[in-house]
Structure 1
Amino acid sequence: MSTTWITRAETAADIPTVHTINAAAFETGAEADLVDALRTDPSWIPGLSIVATDRHDRPIGHALLTRCHIGTVPALCLAPVAVLPEYQKTGAGSAAIHTALRSAADLGEHFVVVLGHPAYYPRFGFTRASTHGIGLTIEVPDEALMALTLDPEHPLPAGIVHYAAPFGI
């Protein structure tokens, strides 16, 4: 199995496969449906839906960044991140995340939040959001909400994270 993943922005041809990846990676189809709903939402930013592919250009992993706000400051939300079960723990998800974050920085974005596993996301530079005065309107474990600045010249703003409408938060 390859450990060097090719990453690229999702194309229209990838949409059904991205749905399949998200449906297979999670217990329910909610994340796959969320990605489909986000594609039609104003929070969608072209070029920030990233796939990791095998050597035959078949997508096997996916990472998505969409618009959110920390208070009134524009930011990005990393969610979901999914990998086909048979490729999990191979670095495909990490490769997609790294490319998504680089692509966001290249677009001039400054901030990213993630609600996820506190042992996984710090490897990408995410830190506990509450230490920066960042919170949510719902109860989540404090260590699960994390934030990252893509540019050290721009410190993370404080405020409540406002997700795109399809998240339902």
Structure 2
Amino acid sequence: MTDHADHTDPRWTTRPETPADRAAVHGVNTAAFPTRAEADLVDALRADPEAWLPELSYVAEAPDRSLAAYALLTRCRVDDAPALALAPVATVPAYQRQGAGLAVVRAVLDAARVRGEALVLVLGHPEYYPRFGFGPASRYGIRPGFEVPDEAMMALVLDDSVPVPAGLIRYPAAFGV
């Protein structure tokens, strides 16, 4: 057992996305958000070889093997230092508030740790992401190049043996920021 085994939820099987999952991933993102913007963002990131890390595109399967949730980490930078951006995180409405989103986020963060990644950034709900260890990015001198509430821009240090870079977040072009 790994030290993260206590985080697993037996209802959800989490795994890296496969090529056969692409249409279903698009469907999860389309179902979870009011517009297709997030689904289109995933497609654009998938086409960016600088940003796309195929082993960090994760799905959670429902008991019927359909996709219930999705979480994506892509390469971004803090000034010139490598980091990861967590976006989007999506759960099909029928499975929201049942642990699928938690399971897929935990799984993709664990996969990033195993890969040796040091830092993950997320622009998200300040009441949701701290449960994974995220805190204000400003605490590390990390800031986005656009205005957001300080508590919504968060950072998670995965490897505290690596110095945390300070500076401006540089997202992949697909983010449009």
Q: Secondary structure at the match of 2:122?
A: strand
Cα distance in 1 for partners of 2:113, 2:131 equals: 17
Partner of 2:128: 120
Alignment of 1:9-48 (within 5 A): 9-42=16-49, 43-48=51-56
- TM-score with structure 2 setting the length: 0.92
Identical amino acids, percent of aligned pairs: 55
Number of equivalences: 168
The letter for the 1-side match of 2:25 is V
Question: 2:116–2:159: 8 Å Cα contact kept in structure 1?
Answer: no
Tell me which stretches of 4 or more aligned residues in structure 1 moved more than 3 Å.
none
CA RMSD of aligned residues (A): 1.2
Structure 1 unaligned regions, length at least 5:
none
Check conservation: 1:7, 1:52, Cα contact below 8 A: yes
Q: Distance in 2 between matches of 1:24 and 1:3?
A: 24
User: AA paired with 1:134?
Assistant: I
- 2:42 aligns to what SS in structure 1? helix
Give the TM-score normalised by structure 1: 0.96
- State the shift of 1:154 in Å: 2.1
Alpha-carbon displacement from aligned partner over 1:111-166 (angstroms, at most 9, x marks no partner) = 00000000000000000001110101110111100001111212421111100010
In structure 1, C-alpha distance between the alignment counterparts of 2:94 and 2:10, rounded to whole Å:
13
Q: Is the 8 A contact 1:135 1:161 kept in 2?
A: yes
Match of 1:134 in 2: 142
Question: 1:44 and 1:77 mapped to 2: Cα distance?
Answer: 11
1:144 aligned to 152, 159, 163, which one? 152
Unaligned 5+ residue runs, structure 2? 1-8
The residue aligned with 1:57 is: 65
For 1:6-29, what per-residue CA distance to the aligned partner results, in whole angstroms no more than 9, with x for missing partners?
A: 100001111001101101111111
1:88 paired residue number: 96
Distance 2:65 2:78 in 1: 36
Out of 104, 108, 121, which is 1:100 matched to? 108
| CA shift in 2, pair 1:155/1:123, >3 Å | farther
1:160 to 2:160 alignment: no
Cα distance in 2 between the residues matched to 1:74 and 1:139: 22
SS at match of 2:55: coil
Deviation string 1:56-78 (CA, Å, 9 cap, x unpaired) is: 32211000000000111000000
CA deviation vs aligned residue, 1:81-100 (integer Å, no higher than 9, x gap): 00000100111011101110
1:3 deviates by: 6.2
Equivalent residue of 2:86, what SS?
strand
